[in-house]
A and B are shown apart, each in its own frame.
Chain A
Amino acid sequence: MNDILMAGNKAKGERPYFLEDPAVERVLNITMAVATELAVTRERLDTLERILAEKGLVSREEIEAYSPDEEAAEARQLWHARYSARLLRIVQQELEAIAQPENNKPMHQIADEINEM
Protein backbone atom coordinates (compact mmCIF):
# COMPACT_ATOMS: atom_id res chain seq x y z
CA MET A 1 0.00 0.00 0.00
CA ASN A 2 2.90 2.33 0.73
CA ASP A 3 3.91 2.95 -2.87
CA ILE A 4 0.25 3.51 -3.75
CA LEU A 5 0.01 6.34 -1.23
CA MET A 6 3.43 7.73 -2.12
CA ALA A 7 2.29 8.08 -5.70
CA GLY A 8 -0.42 10.51 -4.60
CA ASN A 9 1.70 12.59 -2.22
CA LYS A 10 1.06 16.33 -2.15
CA ALA A 11 3.79 18.72 -3.31
CA LYS A 12 4.90 21.54 -0.99
CA GLY A 13 2.86 24.72 -1.03
CA GLU A 14 -0.80 25.53 -0.55
CA ARG A 15 -2.98 24.16 -3.38
CA PRO A 16 -4.77 26.90 -5.33
CA TYR A 17 -8.47 26.49 -5.99
CA PHE A 18 -9.81 28.25 -9.06
CA LEU A 19 -13.53 27.51 -9.06
CA GLU A 20 -15.91 29.49 -6.86
CA ASP A 21 -16.80 26.37 -4.88
CA PRO A 22 -13.89 24.09 -3.87
CA ALA A 23 -16.33 21.20 -3.66
CA VAL A 24 -16.91 21.51 -7.39
CA GLU A 25 -13.18 21.58 -8.07
CA ARG A 26 -12.82 18.43 -5.99
CA VAL A 27 -15.44 16.72 -8.10
CA LEU A 28 -13.80 17.96 -11.30
CA ASN A 29 -10.49 16.41 -10.25
CA ILE A 30 -12.12 13.12 -9.37
CA THR A 31 -14.00 13.12 -12.66
CA MET A 32 -10.83 13.75 -14.69
CA ALA A 33 -9.13 10.84 -12.95
CA VAL A 34 -12.09 8.65 -13.86
CA ALA A 35 -11.91 9.87 -17.44
CA THR A 36 -8.22 8.94 -17.52
CA GLU A 37 -8.81 5.41 -16.30
CA LEU A 38 -11.61 4.89 -18.78
CA ALA A 39 -9.18 5.86 -21.54
CA VAL A 40 -6.59 3.43 -20.19
CA THR A 41 -9.15 0.67 -20.09
CA ARG A 42 -10.28 1.37 -23.62
CA GLU A 43 -6.71 1.12 -24.86
CA ARG A 44 -6.17 -2.17 -23.10
CA LEU A 45 -9.46 -3.55 -24.34
CA ASP A 46 -8.55 -2.50 -27.84
CA THR A 47 -5.23 -4.30 -27.57
CA LEU A 48 -6.90 -7.44 -26.35
CA GLU A 49 -9.64 -7.50 -28.93
CA ARG A 50 -7.18 -7.02 -31.78
CA ILE A 51 -4.90 -9.82 -30.66
CA LEU A 52 -7.81 -12.14 -29.99
CA ALA A 53 -9.32 -11.35 -33.35
CA GLU A 54 -6.01 -12.01 -35.09
CA LYS A 55 -5.72 -15.39 -33.43
CA GLY A 56 -9.38 -16.40 -33.48
CA LEU A 57 -8.96 -17.59 -29.87
CA VAL A 58 -11.54 -16.29 -27.47
CA SER A 59 -15.26 -16.11 -27.92
CA ARG A 60 -17.56 -13.50 -26.46
CA GLU A 61 -19.46 -16.15 -24.51
CA GLU A 62 -16.30 -17.23 -22.67
CA ILE A 63 -15.72 -13.67 -21.54
CA GLU A 64 -19.26 -13.33 -20.26
CA ALA A 65 -19.06 -16.56 -18.23
CA TYR A 66 -15.62 -15.85 -16.65
CA SER A 67 -15.13 -16.39 -12.86
CA PRO A 68 -11.69 -15.53 -11.28
CA ASP A 69 -9.72 -17.97 -9.10
CA GLU A 70 -8.27 -16.85 -5.70
CA GLU A 71 -5.11 -15.35 -7.14
CA ALA A 72 -6.92 -13.53 -9.91
CA ALA A 73 -9.53 -12.23 -7.52
CA GLU A 74 -6.83 -10.83 -5.23
CA ALA A 75 -4.96 -9.17 -8.09
CA ARG A 76 -8.11 -7.54 -9.37
CA GLN A 77 -8.94 -6.18 -5.94
CA LEU A 78 -5.45 -4.69 -5.61
CA TRP A 79 -6.05 -2.97 -8.93
CA HIS A 80 -9.21 -1.47 -7.53
CA ALA A 81 -7.26 -0.21 -4.52
CA ARG A 82 -4.78 1.64 -6.76
CA TYR A 83 -7.67 2.95 -8.80
CA SER A 84 -9.40 4.30 -5.74
CA ALA A 85 -6.24 6.16 -4.72
CA ARG A 86 -6.06 7.74 -8.15
CA LEU A 87 -9.69 8.83 -8.03
CA LEU A 88 -9.35 10.40 -4.64
CA ARG A 89 -5.83 11.84 -4.97
CA ILE A 90 -7.10 15.36 -4.29
CA VAL A 91 -8.72 14.34 -1.03
CA GLN A 92 -5.54 12.57 0.08
CA GLN A 93 -3.58 15.71 -0.66
CA GLU A 94 -6.04 17.95 1.20
CA LEU A 95 -5.61 15.63 4.16
CA GLU A 96 -1.82 15.91 3.96
CA ALA A 97 -2.22 19.68 3.78
CA ILE A 98 -4.03 19.69 7.11
CA ALA A 99 -1.62 17.22 8.65
CA GLN A 100 1.50 19.12 7.55
CA PRO A 101 0.78 22.85 7.71
CA GLU A 102 4.49 23.61 7.35
CA ASN A 103 4.29 22.23 3.80
CA ASN A 104 1.16 24.22 3.03
CA LYS A 105 2.42 27.77 2.72
CA PRO A 106 0.84 29.94 0.04
CA MET A 107 3.01 30.05 -3.05
CA HIS A 108 3.25 33.86 -2.90
CA GLN A 109 4.88 33.51 0.48
CA ILE A 110 7.26 30.83 -0.78
CA ALA A 111 8.10 33.06 -3.75
CA ASP A 112 8.95 35.98 -1.46
CA GLU A 113 11.02 33.74 0.81
CA ILE A 114 12.90 32.18 -2.07
CA ASN A 115 13.62 35.64 -3.37
CA GLU A 116 15.61 36.11 -0.15
CA MET A 117 17.60 32.89 -0.47
Chain B
Amino acid sequence: MSYQIPPVFTKLHRHDMMPAFDHDERARYNFLANLNRFISTVIAPGNKIAYDNRVEPNFVQENGRTFQNRHEVQAAMSQDPMYQTWAALRRCTMEMRQQAGRSVVMRQAEDLAEKAQKWIGDGKNLVLKPDFQVPAYLRHVDNHLMPGSYHTEYMEGDVANAGNYDTGLFVTTGGMLGRLTDGGGKAIAHWVKETYPDFQPKRILDIGCGLGHNVLPIAEMYPNAEIIAIDAGAPMLRYGAARANALGVKKVTFMQVDAENMAEFADHSFDWVQTTMFLHETGGKAIHRIFREINRVLAPGGLNLHIEQPQYTPEMSYYEQFMRDWDAYYNAEPYWGHMHDLQPEDLMEAAGVPRANFMQVGVKAINDLDEKKQDANVKEDYGRSPIWNVFGGWKP
Protein backbone atom coordinates (compact mmCIF):
# COMPACT_ATOMS: atom_id res chain seq x y z
CA MET B 1 0.00 0.00 0.00
CA SER B 2 1.51 3.31 -1.08
CA TYR B 3 0.77 6.09 1.38
CA GLN B 4 1.27 9.70 0.40
CA ILE B 5 1.07 12.32 3.12
CA PRO B 6 -0.68 15.43 1.73
CA PRO B 7 1.32 18.65 1.36
CA VAL B 8 0.58 21.51 3.76
CA PHE B 9 -2.13 23.98 2.78
CA THR B 10 0.41 26.76 2.34
CA LYS B 11 1.82 24.91 -0.68
CA LEU B 12 -1.23 26.05 -2.66
CA HIS B 13 -0.63 29.11 -4.77
CA ARG B 14 -2.21 32.01 -2.92
CA HIS B 15 -3.88 34.00 -5.70
CA ASP B 16 -5.09 37.37 -4.47
CA MET B 17 -8.76 36.40 -4.56
CA MET B 18 -8.26 33.55 -2.11
CA PRO B 19 -9.82 33.95 1.34
CA ALA B 20 -7.40 34.78 4.14
CA PHE B 21 -6.52 31.86 6.39
CA ASP B 22 -5.18 32.43 9.88
CA HIS B 23 -2.81 30.02 11.59
CA ASP B 24 -5.43 27.74 13.08
CA GLU B 25 -7.54 27.70 9.93
CA ARG B 26 -4.50 26.50 7.99
CA ALA B 27 -3.78 23.94 10.71
CA ARG B 28 -7.36 22.68 10.55
CA TYR B 29 -7.15 22.21 6.79
CA ASN B 30 -3.80 20.46 7.20
CA PHE B 31 -5.33 18.03 9.66
CA LEU B 32 -8.54 17.43 7.70
CA ALA B 33 -6.59 16.73 4.49
CA ASN B 34 -4.52 14.21 6.42
CA LEU B 35 -7.59 12.66 8.01
CA ASN B 36 -9.22 12.21 4.60
CA ARG B 37 -6.06 10.66 3.17
CA PHE B 38 -5.85 8.25 6.10
CA ILE B 39 -9.48 7.23 5.84
CA SER B 40 -9.35 6.69 2.08
CA THR B 41 -6.01 4.87 2.08
CA VAL B 42 -6.14 2.85 5.28
CA ILE B 43 -9.77 2.47 6.33
CA ALA B 44 -11.69 2.44 3.04
CA PRO B 45 -10.08 -0.84 1.85
CA GLY B 46 -11.76 -2.41 4.88
CA ASN B 47 -14.99 -2.32 2.91
CA LYS B 48 -13.70 -4.78 0.28
CA ILE B 49 -12.07 -6.89 2.97
CA ALA B 50 -15.38 -7.15 4.81
CA TYR B 51 -17.23 -7.80 1.54
CA ASP B 52 -14.90 -10.60 0.47
CA ASN B 53 -14.52 -12.21 3.89
CA ARG B 54 -17.99 -12.09 5.34
CA VAL B 55 -20.61 -10.00 3.54
CA GLU B 56 -20.64 -11.94 0.27
CA PRO B 57 -20.06 -15.39 1.79
CA ASN B 58 -22.88 -14.81 4.27
CA PHE B 59 -25.22 -13.69 1.49
CA VAL B 60 -24.38 -16.74 -0.60
CA GLN B 61 -24.98 -18.98 2.38
CA GLU B 62 -28.36 -17.41 3.12
CA ASN B 63 -29.62 -17.06 -0.45
CA GLY B 64 -27.93 -19.84 -2.37
CA ARG B 65 -26.58 -17.34 -4.91
CA THR B 66 -24.43 -14.24 -5.07
CA PHE B 67 -25.61 -10.64 -5.53
CA GLN B 68 -27.63 -9.79 -8.64
CA ASN B 69 -27.34 -6.00 -8.51
CA ARG B 70 -25.72 -3.14 -6.59
CA HIS B 71 -28.84 -2.56 -4.49
CA GLU B 72 -28.53 -6.00 -2.94
CA VAL B 73 -24.88 -5.26 -2.19
CA GLN B 74 -25.90 -1.98 -0.58
CA ALA B 75 -28.50 -3.64 1.64
CA ALA B 76 -26.03 -6.27 2.83
CA MET B 77 -23.10 -3.90 3.35
CA SER B 78 -25.28 -1.51 5.38
CA GLN B 79 -25.47 -4.19 8.06
CA ASP B 80 -21.72 -4.64 8.27
CA PRO B 81 -19.92 -2.81 11.11
CA MET B 82 -16.78 -2.19 9.02
CA TYR B 83 -18.76 -0.43 6.30
CA GLN B 84 -20.83 1.38 8.92
CA THR B 85 -17.72 2.76 10.57
CA TRP B 86 -16.08 3.87 7.31
CA ALA B 87 -19.30 5.44 6.05
CA ALA B 88 -19.96 7.25 9.33
CA LEU B 89 -16.42 8.62 9.33
CA ARG B 90 -16.58 9.65 5.68
CA ARG B 91 -19.84 11.50 6.13
CA CYS B 92 -18.42 13.13 9.27
CA THR B 93 -15.32 14.36 7.44
CA MET B 94 -17.39 15.81 4.57
CA GLU B 95 -19.45 17.78 7.09
CA MET B 96 -16.34 18.90 9.00
CA ARG B 97 -14.73 20.07 5.76
CA GLN B 98 -17.78 22.19 4.92
CA GLN B 99 -17.96 23.73 8.35
CA ALA B 100 -14.23 24.49 8.30
CA GLY B 101 -14.46 26.16 4.90
CA ARG B 102 -17.60 28.11 5.70
CA SER B 103 -16.20 29.39 8.96
CA VAL B 104 -13.27 30.85 7.03
CA VAL B 105 -15.33 32.61 4.36
CA MET B 106 -18.31 33.70 6.46
CA ARG B 107 -16.16 35.74 8.83
CA GLN B 108 -14.76 37.72 5.87
CA ALA B 109 -17.63 37.61 3.41
CA GLU B 110 -17.84 41.41 3.00
CA ASP B 111 -14.08 41.70 2.48
CA LEU B 112 -14.16 38.97 -0.15
CA ALA B 113 -17.03 40.65 -1.98
CA GLU B 114 -15.10 43.93 -1.96
CA LYS B 115 -11.92 42.28 -3.20
CA ALA B 116 -13.83 40.51 -5.96
CA GLN B 117 -15.28 43.85 -7.06
CA LYS B 118 -11.79 45.33 -7.19
CA TRP B 119 -10.42 42.47 -9.30
CA ILE B 120 -13.48 42.39 -11.56
CA GLY B 121 -12.79 46.04 -12.28
CA ASP B 122 -14.53 47.15 -15.46
CA GLY B 123 -16.19 43.76 -15.68
CA LYS B 124 -15.06 43.06 -19.22
CA ASN B 125 -14.70 39.34 -18.51
CA LEU B 126 -17.91 38.88 -16.50
CA VAL B 127 -21.53 38.82 -17.71
CA LEU B 128 -24.20 38.22 -15.05
CA LYS B 129 -27.98 38.36 -15.47
CA PRO B 130 -29.87 40.02 -12.57
CA ASP B 131 -33.05 38.05 -13.35
CA PHE B 132 -31.34 34.72 -14.02
CA GLN B 133 -33.40 31.64 -13.15
CA VAL B 134 -31.21 29.09 -11.39
CA PRO B 135 -32.13 25.64 -12.77
CA ALA B 136 -34.44 23.54 -10.62
CA TYR B 137 -31.96 20.66 -10.38
CA LEU B 138 -29.44 23.00 -8.73
CA ARG B 139 -31.90 24.46 -6.27
CA HIS B 140 -33.08 21.00 -5.25
CA VAL B 141 -29.93 19.82 -3.47
CA ASP B 142 -26.78 21.26 -1.92
CA ASN B 143 -24.25 19.40 -4.05
CA HIS B 144 -21.48 17.63 -2.10
CA LEU B 145 -23.03 18.96 1.10
CA MET B 146 -22.07 22.56 0.42
CA PRO B 147 -24.87 24.61 2.05
CA GLY B 148 -26.26 27.06 -0.51
CA SER B 149 -24.49 25.30 -3.37
CA TYR B 150 -23.09 27.38 -6.25
CA HIS B 151 -25.84 29.94 -6.57
CA THR B 152 -26.73 31.23 -3.09
CA GLU B 153 -25.81 34.85 -2.42
CA TYR B 154 -25.76 36.05 1.17
CA MET B 155 -25.24 39.67 0.18
CA GLU B 156 -24.74 41.82 -2.90
CA GLY B 157 -21.64 40.82 -4.84
CA ASP B 158 -21.25 37.72 -2.69
CA VAL B 159 -18.47 35.21 -3.47
CA ALA B 160 -18.38 33.37 -0.12
CA ASN B 161 -19.44 29.94 -1.38
CA ALA B 162 -16.92 30.15 -4.20
CA GLY B 163 -14.14 30.89 -1.69
CA ASN B 164 -15.23 27.87 0.31
CA TYR B 165 -15.30 25.67 -2.79
CA ASP B 166 -11.92 26.89 -4.09
CA THR B 167 -10.02 26.17 -0.89
CA GLY B 168 -11.99 23.13 0.30
CA LEU B 169 -10.87 21.11 -2.72
CA PHE B 170 -7.46 20.94 -1.00
CA VAL B 171 -9.02 19.06 1.89
CA THR B 172 -11.01 16.55 -0.13
CA THR B 173 -8.22 15.79 -2.62
CA GLY B 174 -5.29 16.14 -0.22
CA GLY B 175 -3.76 18.64 -2.60
CA MET B 176 -3.69 16.11 -5.45
CA LEU B 177 -5.01 18.66 -7.94
CA GLY B 178 -1.94 20.86 -7.68
CA ARG B 179 -1.01 24.37 -6.61
CA LEU B 180 -3.97 25.98 -8.33
CA THR B 181 -6.31 22.99 -7.90
CA ASP B 182 -6.35 22.75 -11.69
CA GLY B 183 -4.99 19.25 -12.22
CA GLY B 184 -8.07 18.19 -14.18
CA GLY B 185 -8.00 21.16 -16.54
CA LYS B 186 -4.24 20.75 -17.05
CA ALA B 187 -4.72 17.08 -17.86
CA ILE B 188 -7.35 17.77 -20.53
CA ALA B 189 -5.40 20.66 -22.03
CA HIS B 190 -2.22 18.58 -22.28
CA TRP B 191 -4.03 15.52 -23.59
CA VAL B 192 -5.83 17.40 -26.37
CA LYS B 193 -2.62 19.24 -27.35
CA GLU B 194 -0.58 16.03 -27.47
CA THR B 195 -3.24 13.90 -29.14
CA TYR B 196 -4.38 16.48 -31.69
CA PRO B 197 -1.36 18.74 -32.23
CA ASP B 198 -2.87 20.30 -35.39
CA PHE B 199 -6.11 21.28 -33.66
CA GLN B 200 -6.35 25.10 -33.53
CA PRO B 201 -9.66 25.92 -31.86
CA LYS B 202 -10.86 29.47 -32.39
CA ARG B 203 -13.70 29.49 -29.88
CA ILE B 204 -13.97 27.22 -26.85
CA LEU B 205 -16.97 26.80 -24.53
CA ASP B 206 -16.63 25.43 -20.98
CA ILE B 207 -20.05 24.48 -19.58
CA GLY B 208 -20.50 24.46 -15.79
CA CYS B 209 -17.15 26.17 -15.26
CA GLY B 210 -17.74 26.94 -11.58
CA LEU B 211 -14.90 29.25 -10.56
CA GLY B 212 -12.94 28.41 -13.68
CA HIS B 213 -10.07 26.47 -12.13
CA ASN B 214 -10.21 23.90 -14.94
CA VAL B 215 -10.73 26.29 -17.85
CA LEU B 216 -7.70 28.52 -17.21
CA PRO B 217 -5.19 25.78 -18.18
CA ILE B 218 -7.11 25.38 -21.45
CA ALA B 219 -6.93 29.15 -22.00
CA GLU B 220 -3.17 29.05 -21.40
CA MET B 221 -2.65 26.10 -23.75
CA TYR B 222 -4.63 27.78 -26.55
CA PRO B 223 -3.74 31.48 -26.27
CA ASN B 224 -5.23 32.30 -29.68
CA ALA B 225 -8.67 30.98 -28.81
CA GLU B 226 -11.61 32.93 -27.48
CA ILE B 227 -12.80 31.15 -24.33
CA ILE B 228 -16.31 31.40 -22.93
CA ALA B 229 -16.93 29.83 -19.50
CA ILE B 230 -20.54 29.51 -18.37
CA ASP B 231 -22.23 28.61 -15.08
CA ALA B 232 -25.51 29.19 -13.26
CA GLY B 233 -23.94 30.39 -10.00
CA ALA B 234 -23.24 34.11 -9.69
CA PRO B 235 -20.83 33.78 -6.73
CA MET B 236 -18.74 31.24 -8.67
CA LEU B 237 -18.63 33.40 -11.81
CA ARG B 238 -17.71 36.56 -9.90
CA TYR B 239 -14.96 34.79 -8.03
CA GLY B 240 -13.84 33.06 -11.21
CA ALA B 241 -13.53 36.33 -13.14
CA ALA B 242 -11.72 37.97 -10.22
CA ARG B 243 -9.40 34.98 -9.75
CA ALA B 244 -8.57 34.87 -13.45
CA ASN B 245 -7.70 38.57 -13.40
CA ALA B 246 -5.61 38.12 -10.26
CA LEU B 247 -3.72 35.33 -12.05
CA GLY B 248 -3.27 37.43 -15.17
CA VAL B 249 -5.33 35.17 -17.43
CA LYS B 250 -7.42 37.63 -19.39
CA LYS B 251 -8.74 35.54 -22.28
CA VAL B 252 -11.70 33.93 -20.53
CA THR B 253 -15.16 35.52 -20.40
CA PHE B 254 -17.30 34.25 -17.51
CA MET B 255 -21.02 34.30 -18.34
CA GLN B 256 -24.15 33.38 -16.41
CA VAL B 257 -25.93 31.13 -18.88
CA ASP B 258 -28.34 28.20 -18.51
CA ALA B 259 -26.78 25.26 -20.36
CA GLU B 260 -30.26 24.02 -21.30
CA ASN B 261 -30.94 27.22 -23.22
CA MET B 262 -27.82 28.97 -24.47
CA ALA B 263 -29.71 31.55 -26.52
CA GLU B 264 -26.79 33.95 -26.47
CA PHE B 265 -24.71 31.58 -28.60
CA ALA B 266 -25.36 31.15 -32.31
CA ASP B 267 -25.62 27.77 -34.00
CA HIS B 268 -22.24 26.11 -34.70
CA SER B 269 -20.34 28.91 -32.96
CA PHE B 270 -17.79 26.85 -30.99
CA ASP B 271 -15.19 24.37 -32.19
CA TRP B 272 -14.59 22.85 -28.76
CA VAL B 273 -17.24 22.33 -26.09
CA GLN B 274 -15.94 21.04 -22.75
CA THR B 275 -17.54 19.95 -19.48
CA THR B 276 -15.54 18.94 -16.39
CA MET B 277 -17.30 17.12 -13.51
CA PHE B 278 -20.49 18.95 -14.43
CA LEU B 279 -22.94 16.45 -15.92
CA HIS B 280 -23.51 14.52 -12.69
CA GLU B 281 -24.77 17.72 -11.07
CA THR B 282 -27.54 18.30 -13.61
CA GLY B 283 -30.86 16.45 -13.81
CA GLY B 284 -32.47 13.51 -15.57
CA LYS B 285 -34.35 15.57 -18.11
CA ALA B 286 -31.99 18.56 -18.18
CA ILE B 287 -29.01 16.50 -19.30
CA HIS B 288 -30.71 15.63 -22.59
CA ARG B 289 -31.69 19.25 -23.23
CA ILE B 290 -28.08 20.23 -22.51
CA PHE B 291 -26.76 17.73 -25.05
CA ARG B 292 -29.19 19.03 -27.68
CA GLU B 293 -27.85 22.51 -27.03
CA ILE B 294 -24.29 21.24 -27.27
CA ASN B 295 -25.14 19.82 -30.69
CA ARG B 296 -26.58 23.15 -31.74
CA VAL B 297 -23.60 25.30 -30.73
CA LEU B 298 -20.86 22.84 -31.69
CA ALA B 299 -19.55 23.49 -35.19
CA PRO B 300 -19.05 20.66 -37.68
CA GLY B 301 -15.50 19.35 -37.25
CA GLY B 302 -15.59 20.43 -33.63
CA LEU B 303 -14.56 18.55 -30.47
CA ASN B 304 -16.84 17.69 -27.54
CA LEU B 305 -15.22 16.29 -24.38
CA HIS B 306 -16.55 15.50 -20.93
CA ILE B 307 -14.66 14.66 -17.77
CA GLU B 308 -17.13 12.65 -15.75
CA GLN B 309 -17.75 9.68 -13.50
CA PRO B 310 -17.63 6.50 -15.61
CA GLN B 311 -20.84 4.79 -16.58
CA TYR B 312 -21.75 1.41 -15.14
CA THR B 313 -20.98 -1.44 -17.54
CA PRO B 314 -21.63 -5.18 -17.36
CA GLU B 315 -17.88 -5.56 -16.68
CA MET B 316 -18.06 -3.42 -13.53
CA SER B 317 -18.74 -5.57 -10.47
CA TYR B 318 -21.85 -4.89 -8.41
CA TYR B 319 -19.54 -4.17 -5.49
CA GLU B 320 -17.76 -1.44 -7.48
CA GLN B 321 -21.08 -0.01 -8.63
CA PHE B 322 -22.24 0.10 -5.00
CA MET B 323 -19.08 1.94 -3.91
CA ARG B 324 -19.42 4.39 -6.82
CA ASP B 325 -23.02 5.02 -5.77
CA TRP B 326 -21.97 6.06 -2.29
CA ASP B 327 -21.50 9.74 -3.04
CA ALA B 328 -24.86 9.86 -4.76
CA TYR B 329 -26.79 9.09 -1.60
CA TYR B 330 -24.44 10.02 1.21
CA ASN B 331 -22.43 12.95 -0.13
CA ALA B 332 -25.36 14.81 -1.69
CA GLU B 333 -24.59 14.06 -5.34
CA PRO B 334 -28.01 12.53 -6.07
CA TYR B 335 -28.04 12.64 -9.86
CA TRP B 336 -24.72 10.77 -9.92
CA GLY B 337 -26.58 7.53 -9.20
CA HIS B 338 -29.16 7.74 -11.99
CA MET B 339 -26.63 9.19 -14.42
CA HIS B 340 -24.42 6.13 -14.11
CA ASP B 341 -27.11 4.15 -15.92
CA LEU B 342 -26.93 6.37 -19.01
CA GLN B 343 -24.68 5.31 -21.84
CA PRO B 344 -22.28 8.06 -22.92
CA GLU B 345 -22.45 6.84 -26.53
CA ASP B 346 -26.15 7.81 -26.52
CA LEU B 347 -25.40 11.22 -25.02
CA MET B 348 -22.69 11.86 -27.63
CA GLU B 349 -25.04 10.90 -30.45
CA ALA B 350 -27.39 13.59 -29.18
CA ALA B 351 -24.43 15.99 -29.25
CA GLY B 352 -23.86 15.25 -32.94
CA VAL B 353 -21.00 12.79 -32.48
CA PRO B 354 -21.79 9.50 -34.23
CA ARG B 355 -20.98 6.21 -32.51
CA ALA B 356 -18.07 5.61 -34.87
CA ASN B 357 -16.40 8.75 -33.49
CA PHE B 358 -17.05 7.96 -29.84
CA MET B 359 -14.00 7.73 -27.59
CA GLN B 360 -13.44 7.09 -23.93
CA VAL B 361 -10.05 7.37 -22.23
CA GLY B 362 -8.52 7.70 -18.76
CA VAL B 363 -6.48 10.88 -18.37
CA LYS B 364 -4.25 11.35 -15.35
CA ALA B 365 -4.67 14.60 -13.38
CA ILE B 366 -1.48 16.65 -13.47
CA ASN B 367 -0.29 17.55 -9.99
CA ASP B 368 2.42 20.21 -10.07
CA LEU B 369 2.74 19.90 -6.31
CA ASP B 370 4.12 16.42 -6.42
CA GLU B 371 5.56 15.57 -9.84
CA LYS B 372 8.30 13.31 -8.55
CA LYS B 373 6.16 11.34 -6.17
CA GLN B 374 3.25 10.58 -8.50
CA ASP B 375 2.58 6.87 -8.45
CA ALA B 376 1.89 5.83 -12.02
CA ASN B 377 -0.06 2.85 -10.78
CA VAL B 378 -2.18 4.64 -8.22
CA LYS B 379 -5.18 2.54 -7.36
CA GLU B 380 -8.68 3.68 -8.27
CA ASP B 381 -10.66 5.08 -5.42
CA TYR B 382 -14.12 4.75 -6.95
CA GLY B 383 -14.39 8.22 -8.41
CA ARG B 384 -12.09 9.98 -5.98
CA SER B 385 -8.74 9.15 -7.64
CA PRO B 386 -6.66 11.49 -9.79
CA ILE B 387 -7.42 9.52 -12.96
CA TRP B 388 -10.11 11.29 -14.91
CA ASN B 389 -12.55 9.42 -17.08
CA VAL B 390 -13.02 11.33 -20.34
CA PHE B 391 -15.57 10.60 -23.03
CA GLY B 392 -16.46 12.49 -26.18
CA GLY B 393 -15.58 12.77 -29.80
CA TRP B 394 -15.37 14.81 -32.98
CA LYS B 395 -18.49 16.04 -34.71
CA PRO B 396 -18.27 15.36 -38.45
Q: Which residues of A does B touch, CB under 8 Å?
A: 2-4, 6-13, 15-20, 25, 28-29, 32-33, 36-37, 39-40, 43-44, 47, 82, 86, 89-90, 93, 107-108, 110-117
Q: Is the interface of A mostly helix, strand, loop or mixed?
A: helix
Count of A-B residue pairs with CB < 8 Å: 140
B24 engages A12 (CB within 8 Å): no
CB-based closest 7 A-B pairs:
A115-B284, A117-B283, A7-B103, A3-B106, A11-B142, A111-B334, A43-B27
B55 contacts partner chain A, Cβ-Cβ < 8 Å: no
B91 engages A117 (CB within 8 Å): no
CB of B84, distance to nearest CB on chain A (Å): 4
B332 contacts partner chain A, Cβ-Cβ < 8 Å: yes
Within 8 Å by CB of B328, from A10, A15, A111, A116, lies A111
B95 contacts partner chain A, Cβ-Cβ < 8 Å: yes
Interface residues of B in 30-69 (CB under 8 A from A): 30-32, 35
Which chain B residue lies CB-closest to A108?
Answer: B329
Quick one: which of B78, B83, B96, B334 has the most chain A CB within 10 A?
A: B334
B285 engages A40 (CB within 8 Å): no
A13 engages B286 (CB within 8 Å): no
Chain A residues, Cβ within 8 Å of B286: 117
Quick one: which of A4, A10, A32 has the most chain B CB within 10 A?
A: A32
B30 engages A89 (CB within 8 Å): no
Chain A residues, Cβ within 8 Å of B284: 114-117
**Complex Cα spacing A13 to B102, Å:** 18
A111 engages B103 (CB within 8 Å): no
Contact (A13, B332) CB under 8 Å given A47-B23, A89-B96, A117-B140: yes
Which chain B residue lies CB-closest to A13?
Answer: B332
B87 contacts partner chain A, Cβ-Cβ < 8 Å: yes
CB of B172, distance to nearest CB on chain A (Å): 14
Chain B residues, Cβ within 8 Å of A6: 102, 106, 147, 154
Residue-by-residue, is B88-99 near A (CB-CB < 8 Å gives 1, otherwise 0)? Answer: 110111011011
Which chain A residue lies CB-closest to B109?
Answer: A3
**Complex Cα spacing A115 to B103, Å:** 33
24 A-B pairs, CB-CB below 8 angstroms? Answer: A3-B103, A6-B147, A9-B148, A11-B98, A12-B140, A16-B330, A18-B83, A18-B85, A19-B84, A29-B92, A36-B96, A40-B24, A47-B23, A86-B103, A107-B141, A107-B328, A107-B334, A110-B140, A110-B141, A111-B328, A112-B338, A116-B285, A117-B283, A117-B286
